[in-house]
Amino acid sequence: MTHAPTLCGERTALPASLVAAARKFAPPGATSPDDVQRELRCTLEQHPLGDHHAFVMELPGATSGAVWTRWTRGHHPTTVFVLPDCTHASPPPSAEPCCEFTAHPGAHSWQLHDTWQPEPTA
């Protein structure tokens, strides 16, 4: 039996200074501060070395890509940037799109096992 690779899951927070920086990539008025993810989690396949990457904000338009950030363990992100969307999808019938960026390392998002469990709400 083969097991799906595990999602990294390294967590960090997006510094407040990068919220406005992320929104500058979108047309004026197209986003609000609530559109920017502040609690980040690396969604790449588990990796012992290298930068962690996290989605920050979707950009309007089918081919606009998304805003991402990266950081090394023990540090906070210092920049945001736009990366094109990964164009791969799982085989039919589900045809689930990959939620990562083009040329991301490791497995596609539909191939990963996410062990994270959200905290229960009261």
pLDDT tens digits for range 84-114: 999 999 999 999 999 999 999 999 999 999 8
- The mean pLDDT of 8-33, rounded to a whole number, is 95
Inter-residue contact 10 to 42 (CB < 8 Å)? yes
pLDDT exceeds 80 at position 1: no
pLDDT grade, residue 115 (50/70/90)?
A: confident
CB atoms closer than 10 angstroms to residue 77: 21
Backbone angles phi, psi at 71, to 5 degrees: -160, 165
| CA quadruple 101, 107, 113, 116: dihedral sign | negative
d(Cα 59, Cα 76) in Å, to the nearest integer?
Answer: 23
Q: Whole-model pTM?
A: 0.88
